[in-house]
Amino acid sequence: MNESTEALMAEAIRLGSQRKLCREYARIVDMELPIEGENIGVYPWQAEFHNAGADYPERCLLAANQTGKSRSGAAETAIHLTGEYPNWWQGRRFTHPVQWWTGAERTEDSKDIIQSALLGQQGDHGTGWIPKTHIVKVTYRQAGVPEVVDKIYVQHKSGGISE
């Protein structure tokens, strides 16, 4: 494989991961079928959690480790920041830019879990839940841990900027 082919493949992989929000949250998984190939998406319990937002502004997602809690939180944050709601979404919808907060007990967790889920890996913003095409600006803060995000400015579907 030559360098130009490798570069094209790397770009295709990067663009593919950029579409995570649209691809992985486009539909609900059919639990009657194997979870593979085209049967990827939101688990029914995740959809129920998101849709409960229509009636409950505060919700708790309590589940075992490695079951999709961070994925659900990051996806919902990105969905509200961008205003790009999947067809199945029955939860609360914001037709205007929003101001959103996330938090963690430790700065390291904020960077390693929340920041990477929303933006992707350090230096490759747009590979997390917030699509690169919607990221306007990212600012950082000094918190004893290098390169911890302070604010993410996100283009909302309405034309304004979410924070």
Tens place of pLDDT per residue across the chain (163 aa): 677 777 666 666 555 544 555 567 777 777 777 767 777 788 899 999 999 999 999 999 998 988 888 889 999 999 999 999 998 999 999 999 999 999 899 999 999 999 999 998 888 898 889 999 999 999 999 878 899 999 999 999 999 999 9
Q: What is the DSSP string of 66-103?
A: TSSHHHHHHHHHHHHHHT---TT--S---SS-------
Could you give the CA distance from residue 15 to residue 34 in angstroms, rounded to a whole number? 26
List the structure tokens of 134.
Answer: 């919607």
Please report the pLDDT score of residue 114 as a whole number.
93
Rounded CA-CA distance 126/84 in Å is 15
What pLDDT sits at residue 152?
97
Report phi then psi at 159, rounded to 5. 110, -20
